[in-house]
A and B are shown apart, each in its own frame.
Chain A
Amino acid sequence: MNVQAEIDTLKAKDFASDQEVRWCPGCGDYAILKGVQRTLAEIGTPPENVVFISGIGCSSRFPYYLSTYGFHTIHGRAPAVATGVKLANPELDVWIVTGDGDGLSIGGNHLLHVLRRNVDVQILLFNNEIYGLTKGQYSPTSRIGTRSPSTPMGSLDRPLLPAQFALGANASFVARAVDTQQKHMPDVLKRAHAHNGASFVEIYQNCIVYNDGVFSSFAEKETADAGQLRVEHGQPMIFGKDRQRGIRMVPDTFSLEVVEIGKDGVTEADLLVHDEGDRILAGLLAEMRGPDYPVAIGVLFCEETQSYDTAVYQQVAQVREHASITDLNELLRGGATWTVTE
């Protein structure tokens, strides 16, 4: 996966397949596709070394629209298939595309384990808080009260926050992006790609048909500045149209609060500085939601670790170096044997 094609030789369109894209007009997936194609071109991995693996759902059609290798598998199981691919050939650059239903409902177990094991893959979870392909039922990320064909009086069960789930699964890389933010998304995806281990990226994606505007409070052009906190390692947490607001730690309650710079004596020096290596801080950031807090976007957490597939092959190499029996004929003849003569 570290083979780099000559810089500037690949363009975003080189990563488009000949298949007609069949998402609903206006779907956030188009923007993500564009962002991913641009990212791939910028990374420069030869397309033949790239594999996109998906489960089932609108998002999971993704591999068909890329000129790389692609495997559209079964509902929820993409992380397991991807793990097999990496175990067979760790050199491949493997991306998983999933959604909130595919990844967190039917495939929740596999997502948990691919993150915990730290398989070297990039996981793009398109979160639109709804089931699209099955026509609009509520999902595990839908807010309480979501009216859908299966919950006509509003959903009752508590949703989960994908980034929190990933952190709880001991993920080594957790980030967020927004479908329409085409400048920001490739940066996050490149970071995910560079990370050695399982990189989890939640992408807020607007479903124009069944859940239109569910992220409008922070994902649209007019709301982004006030509704989002772009976190960057080593940088103070500032947001707002005039960059007047910030996030401060309240030590007594171990919680975050939104403050106005210049008000009540608050200066930039009082603000929290983002530390990607701090899992606790990442958890607090992941939990921030409107209307009182901005939504944290960017790399919330990144921890340098060894990936599972690397460790597996280290063990194999170790065994190969020390094994006394390396021939199957010899293995079968080891232990107690006896000869029967004529």
Chain B
Amino acid sequence: MVTSTAAELEPTDGHREEVESVVVRFAGDSGDGMQLTGSQFTLATALAGNDLATFPDFPAEIRAPIGTTFGVSAFQINFGAREIATAGDAPDVLVAMNPAALKVNIGELNTGGTVIVDIGTFSDRNLKKAGFTEDPLANGSLDDFQVLSIDISKLTLESVKEFGLGNKEALRSKNMWTLGLVYWLYDRDRQPTLDWLRDKFAKRGNIADANIAAINAGHAFGETAELPSGLHGYKVRHADIAPGLYRTVTGAEALAWGMAMGAKLANLRLLLASYPITPASPLLHILAGMKQFDIVTFQAEDEIAAVCAAIGGAYAGSLGVTSSSGPGIALKGEAIGLAVGVELPLVVVNSQRAGPSTGMPTKTEQSDLYQAVFGRNADAPLVVLAAASPADCFEVAIEAVRLATKYMTPVMLLTDGYIGNASEPWLIPDLDAFEPFPVEFAGQAEDFHPYSRNGETLARPWARPGTPGLQHRIGGIERQDGSGNISYDAENHQRMTDLRARKIAGIADDVPPQGVELGPKSGRLAVVGWGSTHGPIHRAVGNMLDQGLEVAHIHLRNIWPLPRNLGELLSGYEAILVPEMNNGQLVTVLRAEYLVPAEGLNKVNGQPFKITEIENAIRARLEG
């Protein structure tokens, strides 16, 4: 465990140029260890007291052929002395470990930005594999950038030669050499990474030694080498952030811990039943390692079995959770309808990805809102919540558990591949301060009716098998109001359909009224978002407010039912803009629900919105 205060980590080098924020992208072959490099840099940056946001972007192929453009894996981090809302529109620094990484990423580098390339990989063969017809380092195509060409491969081999590794194994330390150089560039502390390497390779001391030597050599290179003019070390002051104990957290971690916390607050055993699917599997992996917290995980034979096992768990008195991505949620649809009908609590997590069908599994999208709200046969209303950021997953997971158990209903929790994999600093909450919401199971009763209802919530009682005297039968066939017995009665079906709808609609009174995150509470333009568009919208609206434009940011956590005051709130704006990483889903729901003139700003290229894209859209509406 590394604990240090930001003040202790203030750079000591007085000659460094101070910058407010920087975007660095590490890019290389899938096998180059870019995600690991990025996560180590993230940790060092967090420890330096900067605010930050990250965006891991990796290919679907596990090991694509080496040197190809489709095998390029990248990790982007935006860090600074101010509040950081997104992983950054465009990198200021690009680290390209091979020609393919340069080819794929150079187009996005800011003009005047720095590109660090390992020329040791720029062989004719690799250039050809990357699709270059001529050497980009020699043909003037990089003239707009500061290019730092280093034979990282050769320098790495030299730095680790004393450890007696084979050539292939020695070259694996290239990423650590590069990390050492970038640590120097931004004055980051190497120690946490050195500790981490010692721990990770505890049983292979020479590998740890080699990697440490590589980091140190990369760092020393920065200190001593003659860098091209204009290139020097930088300093990024620590950000002004709320005091307290912090850690970095990914969306998947926050989600897992939030579920565990929700189950604890509800005083329930957690049963997660899931089937592996990208990008949802990390929730299963993390919870599988938390058995000591009364958590049981089950890798089912398929998506349908997973949701059915979660429903079975709920029926028997556990918190049933299932987790998947869009295609898997589609398979679970019938069973979710069963949970709606039998009115059992269930949490369904959808880590959305680009689609339809298999789509682009590792690329992010938020195109399952229709599926979440409407995607079942018949009138089958349920609760839909959306997480806005990695850390937000923690609270949203707890809220999902609270609503599911209080209202005896399935709750769909929408997150996405970006939120799941991205990390951000997190002020660790004090869990003892959370209000428990323990479930009260039905107890022995003379006159028990499985479909009697709580007058306030309209929830039916949760009667666990094993409770004497409460034996009852439930099922997918329409249930008689009160008794739950099979009923084909027309009037009863009308009444039960109305009850199910009213129960969910009533939840709007039990969720916080919709607030305005930034900007005026009425006026010319509201930018309404949900989910992972939070960062870019927040920054874009903030920037536009600074420039004097009359624009507000409204961000929805409660997708269904919508907050009670939302219609009135939206009617206070002349125009409504809804940026979404889909073809226009929330915008349709808002128009249908409130008859407001909302218009969409839509994008489905597998990448999060850039701040400038939203700024441009705002300007077009307010300055036109």
Instruction: Give A contacts to B, CB under 8 Å.
Output: 17, 19, 46-51, 53, 56, 63-64, 66-74, 77, 79-89, 91-92, 109-110, 112-113, 312, 315-316, 319-320, 323, 325-326, 328-329, 331-342
Contact = CB atoms under 8 A, between A and B. Distances in A.
A312 B258 CA distance: 23
Contacts of B414: none
B317 A73 contact: no
Contacts of B3: 337-339
Contacts of B486: 19, 64
B471 A47 contact: yes
Given A46-B468, A332-B247, A339-B244, A80 B304 contact: yes
Given A51-B465, A328-B264, A83 B428 contact: no
Contact of B308 (A68, A77, A325, A326): A77
B292 A325 contact: yes
B192 interface: yes
B46 interface: yes
Contact of A73 (B241, B242, B245, B338): B338
B296 A73 contact: no
Interface residues of B, number: 77
A87 B296 contact: yes
A329 B246 contact: no
Interface in B2-28: 2-7
Given A83-B312, A316-B291, A337-B245, A88 B475 contact: no
B305 interface: yes
A333 B309 contact: no
Interface string B290-331: 111100101011101110111111111110100000000000
A165 to B, nearest CB: 15
Q: Which of B192, B293, B335 has the most CB of A within 10 A?
A: B293
A145 B202 CA distance: 67
A109 B320 CA distance: 21
17 contacts: A19-B485, A48-B471, A64-B485, A66-B473, A68-B471, A79-B305, A80-B305, A83-B309, A84-B309, A84-B310, A88-B315, A113-B305, A316-B296, A337-B1, A337-B245, A339-B3, A340-B49
Contacts of A72: 473-477
Contact of B245 (A70, A316, A326, A333): A333
Contacts of A53: 312
A330 B477 CA distance: 46
Contacts of A48: 465-471
A331 B257 contact: yes
B257 A315 contact: no
Given A70-B474, A340-B243, A328 B298 contact: no
Given A81-B308, A341-B6, 9 more contacts: A50-B465, A51-B316, A68-B471, A84-B310, A85-B315, A88-B318, A109-B302, A333-B247, A340-B243
A252 B305 CA distance: 44
A53 B472 CA distance: 12
B472 A69 contact: yes
Interface in B469-493: 469-477, 485-486
Given A77-B305, A340-B242, A82 B312 contact: yes
Nearest to B257: A332
Contacts of B192: 336
Interface in B414-430: 428-430
A332 B431 contact: yes
B269 interface: yes
B510 interface: no
Contacts of A68: 471
A88 B345 CA distance: 14
A88 B245 CA distance: 36
Nearest to B9: A338
Rank and list the top 9 A-B pairs by shortest CB-CB distance, nearest first: A84-B312, A72-B475, A84-B309, A80-B308, A88-B316, A70-B473, A323-B292, A88-B318, A80-B305
Nearest to A63: B473
Interface in B236-264: 238, 241-248, 257, 260-261, 264
B305 A85 contact: no
Contacts of B477: 72
A340 B466 contact: no
Interface in B270-308: 271, 273, 290-293, 296, 298, 300-302, 304-306, 308
A342 B310 contact: no
Contacts of A326: 292-293
A67 B264 contact: no
Given A73-B338, A337-B428, A338-B4, A89 B316 contact: yes
Q: Which of B4, B315, B342 has the most CB of A within 10 A?
A: B315
A312 B431 CA distance: 28
Contacts of B7: 341
Contacts of B260: 328
Q: Which of B246, B269, B475 has the most CB of A within 10 A?
A: B475
Contacts of B312: 53, 71, 80-88
Nearest to B6: A340
Nearest to B464: A89
A87 B476 CA distance: 22
Contacts of A329: 430-432
B1 A336 contact: yes
B183 to A, nearest CB: 16
Nearest to A112: B301
A194 B541 CA distance: 67
B195 to A, nearest CB: 9
B89 interface: no
Q: Which of A74, A77, A81, A315 has the most CB of B within 10 A?
A: A81
A342 B468 contact: no
Contact of A84 (B4, B315, B470): B315
B372 to A, nearest CB: 20
B544 interface: no
B6 A84 contact: no
B301 A110 contact: yes
Interface in B436-486: 464-477, 485-486
Contacts of B309: 80-81, 83-84, 87
A142 to B, nearest CB: 25
Contacts of A73: 308, 311, 338, 475-476
Contacts of B466: 48-49, 89, 91-92
B474 to A, nearest CB: 6
B43 interface: yes
Contacts of B430: 329
Contact of B315 (A71, A328, A335): A71
Contacts of B399: none
A124 B248 CA distance: 51
B334 interface: yes
A88 B6 contact: no
A336 to B, nearest CB: 5
Contacts of A66: 473
